[in-house]
């Protein structure tokens, strides 16, 4: 993920992905406890060891050498041990391949490449269509975010080192080849910090999750991939936010799309240590200023449409403006909801023809880009049905 790495990569992400089982089958499993998950398959999971922490709070490391054929290691406070152990047993009994579309497995759509000025990255091997799932994977490492409130930064480094050492050899090597920023920082620590996502596992608690192939994706402020975390299956799914051309680099955004250029650049520098050189940051400053201005108006439009203070007659123009700004700013994930605002606004003034146009656009884009869990989907289908009724009123 870090752009300046010059490290030699032995395992190509595409191989890790397409040949998951092949690449990691020769693992030497050390001495994990082999346990039988009730009524399910046998898996080598280790309930791990719970220890007295440096400051007194007890922590545990749970691991499996066989999970998704490359292992998983989890570091958490002791109070979460039983819960995590149960989750891990559940995930392990449910092969991750079950969450992958078979077409993506038989025909990977990307490969690892050298990207000028950014070190390693992933690039499309063929045209990828909007909404296509490009990659889905489960974490290699999970760390309880609450540890930060119990231990000093120095203790955390030691804990993370202990955790990474509990990974199978090949996975540990792969992890160490990921990039981390700051030459002087602890190598294990910086790799976690540069490559992890904040996720929930079904409860309130936040965890930092590291996903090995996802960690190879570089940043773009206007990315072509969106990611989607599922707590139920513990899977991070990446899908195309727009059409991606063959050989185009695959990217995700490390920061919010509606950040101003200053916010974006300072966050990327402070968290990942690089000067933003994405498609947007590389524009001349007057164009970046224009983009910032559009984002301010975009934010305002959203705020106005969400408030109940607009007259129905004023809503369509504001919704149209929102759609237009979102398109200009290439913020594709906001597009479905923007179309939905326009659909509702036109329905309210009983312009059925235009309302129907936007309802259809919203549903089509929403399902492709946001999936079946998109919250506005059902509502829009109902609206569409109402609009289609011969003398239906909205
Ligand atoms: C998967 O493994 C096979 C056999 O080792 C190899 O020929 C093939 O190129 C690999 N596929 C990818 C996508 O790396
Ligand atoms: C838009 O709103 C978001 C969320 O409130 C905020 O973080 C961001 O700074 C705003 N963008 C601009 C350009 O003002
Ligand atoms: C996001 O994840 C959820 C839960 O797994 C899934 O139902 C949905 O289809 C996903 N969305 C996309 C666009 O992949």
Same domain? For 118 and 162 the reply is yes
- Does the pLDDT of residue 25 top 70, yes or no? no
Q: Is the minimum distance from the CB of 22 to ligand 1 under 6 angstroms?
A: yes
- Number of structural domains in the chain: 2
Are 239 and 100 within 8 A, CB to CB? no
Whether residue 264 is contained in a domain is answered as: no
Rounded CA-CA distance 239/41 in Å is 30
* Closest ligand by atom to 11 CA: 1
Same domain? For 194 and 316 the reply is no
Top mutation candidate among 372, 374, 376 for ligand 3, by most atoms within 8 Å of CB: 372
Q: In what order do the strands lie in the sheet with 218-219?
A: 110-115, 119-124, 249-252, 218-219
Q: Is the minimum distance from the CB of 259 to ligand 2 under 6 angstroms?
A: yes
Rounded CA-CA distance 221/61 in Å is 36
26-47 pLDDT, tens digit each? 222 332 333 323 222 334 455 6
Q: 86 Cβ partners below 8 Å, 6+ apart?
A: none
Same domain? For 49 and 158 the reply is yes
Same domain? For 235 and 319 the reply is no
Whether residue 293 is contained in a domain is answered as: yes
Range of the domain at 93: 31-252
| CATH number for the domain that contains residue 300 | 1.25.40
Whether residue 271 is contained in a domain is answered as: no
- Does the pLDDT of residue 102 top 60, yes or no? no
Q: Which ligand 2 atom is at minimum distance from the Cα of 256?
A: 7
The pLDDT value given to residue 47: 60
Lowest mean pLDDT among 79-83, 182-186, 365-369: 182-186
Whether residue 8 is contained in a domain is answered as: no
The pLDDT value given to residue 358: 98
- Does the pLDDT of residue 235 top 70, yes or no? yes
Lowest mean pLDDT among 64-73, 333-342, 381-390: 64-73
Cα→Cα distances 87→126, 131, 153, 170, 308, Å: 36, 29, 28, 24, 43
Lowest mean pLDDT among 15-24, 110-119, 328-337: 15-24
Helix (H/G/I), strand (E/B), else coil: 65: coil
Rounded CA-CA distance 185/161 in Å is 13
Same domain? For 232 and 311 the reply is no
* Closest ligand by atom to 239 CA: 3
Residue closest by Cα to atom 12 of ligand 1 = 15
Residue ending a domain, choose from 231, 252, 273: 252
Q: Is the minimum distance from the CB of 266 to ligand 2 under 6 angstroms?
A: no
- Each residue of 362-379: b (16+ CB within 10 Å) or e? bbebbebbbbeebebbee
The pLDDT value given to residue 96: 57
Same domain? For 187 and 46 the reply is yes
Ligand 3 centroid to Cα of residue 101, in Å, is 12
Q: Of 343, 344, 331, 336, nearest to 370 (Cα)?
A: 336
Top mutation candidate among 91, 104, 132, 230 for ligand 3, by most atoms within 8 Å of CB: 230
Rounded CA-CA distance 256/134 in Å is 21
Q: Is the minimum distance from the CB of 14 to ligand 2 under 6 angstroms?
A: no
Whether residue 135 is contained in a domain is answered as: yes
pTM over 0.95: no
Q: Which ligand 1 atom is at minimum distance from the Cα of 15?
A: 14
Could you give the percent of the chain with pLDDT greater than 90? 40
Whether residue 274 is contained in a domain is answered as: no
The pLDDT value given to residue 362: 97
| CATH number for the domain that contains residue 179 | 2.170.270.10
Top mutation candidate among 17, 19, 21, 111 for ligand 1, by most atoms within 8 Å of CB: 19
- Does the pLDDT of residue 100 top 60, yes or no? no
Rounded CA-CA distance 307/285 in Å is 33
Residue closest by Cα to atom 7 of ligand 2 = 259
The pLDDT value given to residue 26: 25
Lowest mean pLDDT among 197-211, 307-321, 342-356: 197-211
Same domain? For 240 and 302 the reply is no
């Amino acid at each position: 993920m870090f752009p300046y790495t010059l490290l030699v990569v032995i395992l190509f992400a595409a191989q890790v992905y397409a040949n998951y089982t092949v690449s990691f089958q020769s693992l030497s499993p050390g001495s994990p406890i082999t346990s039988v998950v009730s009524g399910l398959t046998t898996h080598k999971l280790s309930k791990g060891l719970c220890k007295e922490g440096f400051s007194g709070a007890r922590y545990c490391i749970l691991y499996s050498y066989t999970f998704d054929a490359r292992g998983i290691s989890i570091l958490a406070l002791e109070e979460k041990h039983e819960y995590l152990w149960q989750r891990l047993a559940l995930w392990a009994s449910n092969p991750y391949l079950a969450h992958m579309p078979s077409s993506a497995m038989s025909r990977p759509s990307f490969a690892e490449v050298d990207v000028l000025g950014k070190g390693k990255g992933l690039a499309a091997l063929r045209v990828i269509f909007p909404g296509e799932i490009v990659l889905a994977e489960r974490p290699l490492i999970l760390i309880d975010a609450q540890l930060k409130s119990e231990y000093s930064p120095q203790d955390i480094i030691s804990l993370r080192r202990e955790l990474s050492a509990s990974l199978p050899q090949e996975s540990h090597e792969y992890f160490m080849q990921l990039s981390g920023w700051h030459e002087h920082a602890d190598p294990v620590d910086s790799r976690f910090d540069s490559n992890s996502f904040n996720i929930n596992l079904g409860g309130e608690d936040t965890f930092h999750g590291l996903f090995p192939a996802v960690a190879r994706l570089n940043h773009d402020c206007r990315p072509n991939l969106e990611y989607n975390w599922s707590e139920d299956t513990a899977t991070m799914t990446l899908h195309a936010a727009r059409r991606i051309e063959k050989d185009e680099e695959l990217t995700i955004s490390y920061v919010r799309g509606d950040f101003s250029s200053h916010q974006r650049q300072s966050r990327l520098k402070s968290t990942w240590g690089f000067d933003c050189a994405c498609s947007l940051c590389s524009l001349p400053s007057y164009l970046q200023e224009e983009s910032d201005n559009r984002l301010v108006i975009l934010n305002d439009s959203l705020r106005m449409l969400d408030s109940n203070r607009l007259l129905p007659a004023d809503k369509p123009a504001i919704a149209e403006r929102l759609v237009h700004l979102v398109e200009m700013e290439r913020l594709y994930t906001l597009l479905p909801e923007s179309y939905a605002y326009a659909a509702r606004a036109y329905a309210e003034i009983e312009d059925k023809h235009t309302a129907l146009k936007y309802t259809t656009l919203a549903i089509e884009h929403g399902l492709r880009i946001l999936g079946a869990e998109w919250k506005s989907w059902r509502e829009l289908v109902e609206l569409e049905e109402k609009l289609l009724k011969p003398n239906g009123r909205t």
